Amino acid sequence: MIASLPLQDLSNTPTCCRGFDSAKRVGRKDDVIVLGTGEKTVPIPLEGHIGAHPLVKGVIAFGRGHQQVGILVEAKPGSEVDPTDHAEVMNFRNAIWPRVEEANHDAPGFSRIFKEMILIVDPSRPLPRAGKGNVQRKRALELYAQDMEDLYKVVEDSASAHSIPPPSSWDVLDVQNWLAEHAASIHGGRAVTPEADMFEQGFDSATFIRNRIIGALRGSSDAAVNATARQVPQNFVFQYPTLASLARAVTGLMRSGQPVELSRSEEIGQMIRKYTALLPECAPDAGIENNNRERIILLTGTTGNLGAHVLALLLKDEGTQRVYAVNRGEDLVNRQRAAFNDAQLPLGLLDSPKLSLLSADFTEDSLGLPQEDIDDIRKTVTHVVHAAWRVDFNLALSSFESLVAGAVRLLSMAPAAHYLFMSSISIAAGWNVQGYQRDTYVPEAALHEDIVAAATSGYGMSKYVVEEVLSNAYQKGFKTTSIRIGQVSGTSQSGAWNTSEWVPSIVKSSLALGVLPNSNNVVSWVPMDVVARTVVDVVLGPESPELINVVHPHPVKWIVVFEAIQDELGVALSFISFHEWVNQLEAVPDTTTPSDLGRIPGLKLLETFRALGTAEMEARPEDEKESEFGGLPLFETNKACGISQTLATITPLDEHDARAWYFSTWYVSSSTIDQYT
């Protein structure tokens, strides 16, 4: 993350003139874990992120000389776990897993932590610590050396399962049945549904099932089958998270060296049809339910940045009688306060008698809520604003299915309410793919073209699926509005911008590289508070549009924004193409230290930047109309601007926005600049 630092320490020496190679290197050799594959993992950012979980006292990553990384986790007093009690271990792993997934999101594939690679510290053998309380890495690894070796032996032994013979053939059905046997044996005898995501069913042993596949392939007397074992990637099970898709992938590897799977558009279409069929037959008479009543709102995802801003506006609104703030997990009071604090929102609003914090499980039919709350919601809620969603661009569509199901459950819980779903412009990534180029902006309407969403990530596809299901509900008479949101920037007032996002990462990394990236395309970023205000304007307004696009109505050239940023930084950085900038980022020596990652956070988002660089190179020829940076199309905003005066009157991004971002996000000290010069 990028720290806010005082301006008065600015150095007279420009930050970028000497580039990365001349930067002073800090960090110890043992701060890098060299895996058996030769790839290198820097453990400190990962340990710090997971170690911030409220149940965790300490974290040490390990894996030197092995094929994958594991973590040694020490629970805080009062949360200790008996490492010999399988149920306790599983419960603790599940409790911290969302935090581990966040760390995985920013890590390269070879550094990903699998759930079975979480080793729990024995309370009778606490991690050794120095006088200041810091964990002593070397001593900790020595103390748990045998435990780690035992874990790796279990993982390696999982490649052989002599009680289960190899499949009778390598046809899809035989492979699927064989995988089902292995999955059940690994999953404590519990069957795994072939067409459903394994991880959504509680399966958490991706390494074991991958090793069983490799073991069977290696054990074959057929040389061609044996050679296929080398083609099974580390994240194979995450790429194909159902037994059916995994069986097709294995068969495809056997036959052609490429996995065989349903096309993305077919998978999208199947999921849309499945959840459309679960919609109520017809909408209730909303006028009877909601007429002449003050607004009672159910808002999900309020511990996220957008959800927190929307919550603050609703708590201020005099016409809003009650807000149910619904989130997963526990300790909601402290988490909500932390979210408001991070977003620089008034903490006093959380003392409002309007606010009810509810802990929910979106995978359960009634969201895991008490019946009393369910009855109140069904009878009284006038609006549902669904902002909670998992942000992970590495997962397949099937891994988001429980969220899609949860979105439909919310509609069924309060069918008379106006339902607002927070979607994403990423659903239209294929708007201009080969053979589908269009001369128009993406309309404020449901697309009904699965091929358009098939070009995006599982995250974007899942948003598209919900859009389409809600469009079908809209046609039945339900009041639904999907709100496609573009890139959100720092707020228009304070400029505060999440420092872990890709734009702040570009800026800070550019200081170290000595160059800024350029693009011929435009950006239509919208300040966070403007997005939140637009959402609330839809809630407060009389209209229920089926779909609107919330992007900046006045896009500006990338270079205009980044020249303004450069002026605020006060350094003379030259501009190079985005693709060349990514090449410079890739050229950073592989002896990267934790200090380097702090100064060049773009290294943690390298895969994202590679994809953006490729999209920029494949963007439309110079004589065609403008596109959004990253190859995305532009979006119509007429409906959104007609509803929200705030969005309609927003001024184009300029030096004033850059100045606000700078003072809240990129306020750099001379001590930091000295590291670059």
Last residue of a domain, one of 261, 294, 325: 261
pLDDT band at 190 (very low <50, low <70, confident <90, very high): confident
Is pLDDT of 665 > 80?
no
For residues 228 and 208, give the distance between their C-alpha atoms in angstroms, rounded to a whole number.
Answer: 18
8 Å CB contact between 74 and 136: no
pLDDT for res 377: 94
Number of domains making up the chain = 4
> 564 and 654: one domain?
yes
Kindly report the number of other CB atoms within 10 A of residue 672's CB atom: 20
pLDDT for res 539: 97
- Encoded tokens for 665: 């996000």
Is residue 506 in a domain?
Answer: no
- Encoded tokens for 592: 């990267």
Kindly report the number of other CB atoms within 10 A of residue 43's CB atom: 21
pLDDT for res 27: 37
What percent of the chain has pLDDT above 90? 43
pLDDT for res 150: 85
Q: What φ, ψ does residue 365 adopt, rounded to 5°? A: -55, -40
Beta strands 355-359 and 320-327: pairing type?
A: parallel
8 Å CB contact between 233 and 68: no
Residue 125, strand partner residues: none
For residues 549 and 594, give the distance between their C-alpha atoms in angstroms, rounded to a whole number.
Answer: 40
Is residue 434 in a domain?
Answer: yes
- Encoded tokens for 160: 């052989």
Is residue 133 in a domain?
Answer: yes
* Distance from chain centroid for Cα 143: 35
pLDDT for res 311: 98
> 103 and 223: one domain?
no
The set of residues, in sequence order, having a beta carbon less than 8 Å from that of 544 and lying 6+ positions away, is 418, 479, 480, 481
Which of these ranges, 83-92, 98-107, 208-217, 410-419, has the smallest mean pLDDT? 208-217
> 114 and 176: one domain?
no
pLDDT band at 254 (very low <50, low <70, confident <90, very high): confident
pLDDT for res 593: 62
Taking only the tens place, the pLDDT of each residue in 537-567 is: 999 999 899 999 999 999 999 999 999 999 9
First to last CA, the chain: 20
Higher pLDDT, 370 or 623: 370
Which of these ranges, 200-214, 361-375, 409-423, has the smallest mean pLDDT? 200-214
pLDDT for res 16: 30
pLDDT band at 293 (very low <50, low <70, confident <90, very high): low
For residues 259 and 268, give the distance between their C-alpha atoms in angstroms, rounded to a whole number.
Answer: 18
Radius of gyration of the chain from its Cα atoms, rounded to whole angstroms: 26
For residues 217 and 233, give the distance between their C-alpha atoms in angstroms, rounded to a whole number.
Answer: 14
Kindly report the number of other CB atoms within 10 A of residue 608's CB atom: 16
What percent of the chain has pLDDT above 70? 85
> 541 and 570: one domain?
no
Tell me what the mean pLDDT of segment 267-280 comes to.
89
* Residue 176 belongs to domain spanning: 172-261
pLDDT band at 102 (very low <50, low <70, confident <90, very high): confident
pLDDT band at 8 (very low <50, low <70, confident <90, very high): very low
Taking only the tens place, the pLDDT of each residue in 485-509 is: 999 999 988 888 877 788 999 999 9
Is pLDDT of 432 > 80?
no
110: domain CATH number is 3.30.300.30
pLDDT for res 19: 32
Is residue 12 in a domain?
Answer: no
| Dihedral sign computed on CA atoms, order 645, 649, 654, 655 | negative
Residue type, 540: L
pLDDT for res 23: 30
Higher pLDDT, 175 or 667: 175
Kindly report the number of other CB atoms within 10 A of residue 545's CB atom: 18
- Encoded tokens for 466: 């919900």
Is residue 9 in a domain?
Answer: no
> 59 and 126: one domain?
yes
> 255 and 293: one domain?
no
Helix (H, G, I), strand (E, B) or coil at 4: coil
- Quickly tell me which residue has 């294929």 as its tokens: 430
8 Å CB contact between 125 and 81: no
Which of these ranges, 89-93, 343-347, 466-470, has the smallest mean pLDDT? 89-93
> 245 and 367: one domain?
no
Is pLDDT of 669 > 80?
no
Higher pLDDT, 514 or 45: 514
- Encoded tokens for 104: 């995985």
pLDDT for res 229: 74
> 221 and 352: one domain?
no
* Closest CA relative to residue 197, chosen from 208, 206, 207: 206
Tell me what the mean pLDDT of segment 339-345 comes to.
92
pLDDT band at 160 (very low <50, low <70, confident <90, very high): low
For residues 374 and 368, give the distance between their C-alpha atoms in angstroms, rounded to a whole number.
Answer: 9
> 599 and 622: one domain?
yes
Is residue 3 in a domain?
Answer: no
For residues 677 and 669, give the distance between their C-alpha atoms in angstroms, rounded to a whole number.
Answer: 13
Which of these ranges, 1-15, 134-148, 391-405, has the smallest mean pLDDT? 1-15
Which class for 117: exposed (0-12), middle (13-18), buried (19 or more C-beta within 10 A)?
Answer: buried
* Closest CA relative to residue 264, chosen from 427, 473, 438, 440: 427
